[in-house]
Amino acid sequence: MTSKPSADATTPEQRQAALDYHRWPQPGKLEVTATKRVATREDLSLAYSPGVGYACEAIAADPAQADLLTSRGNLVAVVTNGTAVLGLGDIGPLAGKPVMEGKSVLFKRFAGVDAFDIELDAKDPERLIDIVAAMEPTFGGINLEDIKAPECFVIEKTLAGRMGIPVFHDDQHGTAIVVGAAVSNALELVGKSFESIRMVVCGMGAAGVACVDMLVSLGLKPENILAVDRSGVIHTGRANLDPSKQAYARDTDKRSLADALHGADLFLGLSGPGTLSGDMLATMAADPIVLALANPYPEILPSEARAVRDDVILGTGRSDFPNQINNVLCFPYLFRGALDVGARHITTGMKIACVEALAALARQAPFQPGAPEFGRDSLIPNPLDPRLLLELPVAVAKAAMDDGVASRPVADMNVYRQCLASLSARLNAGLAEDGTV
């Protein structure tokens, strides 16, 4: 395993700048503002008593009115117990709060979705499930975040079954959606198909399992997948595998990552820095696709990879390298579409629709002059592309309607697209000089 490159190390000045950003001009990244004026006695009578009572009566008579008379239909909970925060591990819910605040800011900035960060001191899955399920009257959707595997699988599945609103573990499915789009476009560039390639995935935590499941949904054959964790290749002879890993155990004599990579077309890394060596990369098939997503130090640096293979297509999780696999390309817009049609669940069809819309948008002309055109160093859209808000929610909303989970189907998609365009204009016009919305 290679060491972390000193050129990528955070400087004391960068660390202090980040702390100052969070501290000034007031602590944190969020505040609560009112959407209605309360300046007169008449305003007060409408906002509170007696006007609020009429809204309560309307909701008691028809619960669906809650999404029309309160903020619930545009409100998402960003929930964590702090057991798997970024690459920092189990640092607890309080230390994870800056991440959850940041996620809430991105919901608002990119898709106009209001979000509250909810940090829970609840490591026991059953307790966490009970707490989150009890919050359904408050929220229109639940974004689970930074909850460790394998508990996260049970938590998401149980909540999705108990709650009548979308439940989405972004570490799993957000990553999987963006990976799916990147791999789809990379395969198109090199003239390969999902059905024909062989993949090695290194790291089978929450994101790894979800990414593999997504790629299988897109056509990758399970028998062409070798999964590797800290103990080596996941094979049928290994004992004590949890169900998520057992599903990808293969009858193979390969035991190491180096063994598995011989002739592979795709490497998907969700592990740690330096896991993929140049010697291993050299043994992969022609036009190898490498998604080295460990953060902040990828499994292999682009410079190291290109020193070995000039035909490699490489993506990382970092914004300072091409092909950043970034969940912000997904979760704001997925929830925007889901909330707008009152989706009761997030379906596989909605996730695949998001993959396809992302991949298609990347193949369009650049959103601004000078932006990279679709190619080996530009597999997926730029996170600042305003067309994301126009394309992805429409695709998600259509899929929700097709899958029968939309409680408020959109009658006219052209009108919906116009509404999204107006929202996009407001979000971008509302950016102050300091970047706030």
H helical segments located in 8-111: 12-23, 41-47, 51-61, 66-69, 97-111
Q: DSSP label at 422?
A: H
Q: What is the pLDDT of residue 205?
A: 87
Cα–Cα separations (whole angstroms), residue 232 to 96, 249, 362: 30, 11, 35
> What does 282-299 look like in DSSP terms, one character per residue?
HTSPSS-EEEE--SSS-S
Q: What is the pLDDT of residue 7?
A: 41
Q: What is the pLDDT of residue 2?
A: 44
pTM of the model: 0.91
Q: What is the pLDDT of residue 436?
A: 54
Bridging pattern class, strands 114-119 and 75-80: parallel
Q: What is the pLDDT of residue 162?
A: 97
Phi/psi for 195 (5° steps) reads: -65, -25
CATH topology of domain 174-316: Rossmann fold (3.40.50)
Q: How far apart are CA 75 and CA 54, in angstroms?
A: 22
Instruction: Please check whether the domain covering 59-165 is classified as CATH 3.40.50.10380.
Output: yes
Q: What is the pLDDT along the chain (437 residues), one digit of tens a residue?
A: 444 443 445 688 888 998 898 988 888 898 888 889 999 999 999 999 999 999 999 999 999 999 999 999 999 999 999 999 987 889 999 999 999 999 999 999 999 999 999 999 999 999 999 999 999 999 999 999 999 988 999 999 999 999 999 999 998 999 999 999 999 999 999 999 999 999 999 999 889 999 999 999 999 999 999 999 999 999 999 988 888 888 899 999 999 999 999 999 999 999 989 999 999 999 999 999 999 999 888 999 999 999 999 999 999 998 889 999 999 999 999 999 999 999 999 999 999 999 999 999 999 999 888 888 999 999 999 998 999 999 999 999 999 999 999 999 999 999 999 999 999 999 988 565 445 55
Q: Which residues of the chain are in CATH 3.40.50.720 domains?
A: 174-316
Q: What is the pLDDT of residue 320?
A: 86
Cα–Cα separations (whole angstroms), residue 328 to 160, 229, 383, 436: 22, 27, 7, 17
Other beta carbons within 10 angstroms of residue 254's beta carbon come to 17
Which tokens sit at 409? 């189907």
Q: Which residues are catalytic?
A: 48, 103
Q: Which residues of the chain are in CATH 3.40.50.10380 domains?
A: 59-165
Q: How distant is the alpha carbon of residue 24 from its chain centre? A: 28
Q: Which residues pair with 235 in a beta bridge?
A: 250
> What does 230-276 look like in DSSP terms, one character per residue?
TTEE-BTT--S--HHHHTT-B--S--SHHHHHTT-SEEEE-S-TT-S
